[in-house]
A and B are shown apart, each in its own frame.
Chain A
Amino acid sequence: MTPGERRRTWAGLAFVSPWLVGFAVFTLYPVCASIYYSFCDYDVLSPPVWVGTLNYSDMATDNVFWLSVYNTLVFNLIALPLSLVSALALALLLNQPVRFQGVFRAIYYLPSLVPAVAGAMVWLWILNGRHGILNQALMAVGISRPPLWLDDPDWAKPSLALVSLWGCGNTVVIYLAALQGVPRSLLEAAMIDGASAWRRLVHVTLPAISPVIYFNLLIGIIGGLQVFTTAIIMGGAERSTLFYAIYIYYNAFEYRHMGYASAMAWILCLLIMALTWLASRASRGFVHYQGD
Chain B
Amino acid sequence: MRSLTLANRWDAGQIALHVLLILLVVLSLYPMFFTLITSVKDIHQFYHSYFSITYPFHWGNYGEAWDAIGGYVINTLVVAAAAVVIIVAFAALSAYAFARFSFFGKEVLFMALLALIMIPDMITLVPTFLLLRDLGLLDSLVSLVAVYVSSGQVVSIFILRQFFASIPTELVDAARIDGASETQVLTRVVLPLSKSILLTVAIMNVLMIWNDYIWPLVTLSNSRLWTISLGLVGFSERFAGMAAWGPLFAGYVIASIPLIAFISISMRSFISDLTSGALKA
Q: Does B bind A?
A: no
Query: Hey, which bits of chain A sit against chain B, CB under 8 A?
Result: none
Query: Hey, which bits of chain B sit against chain A, CB under 8 A?
Result: none
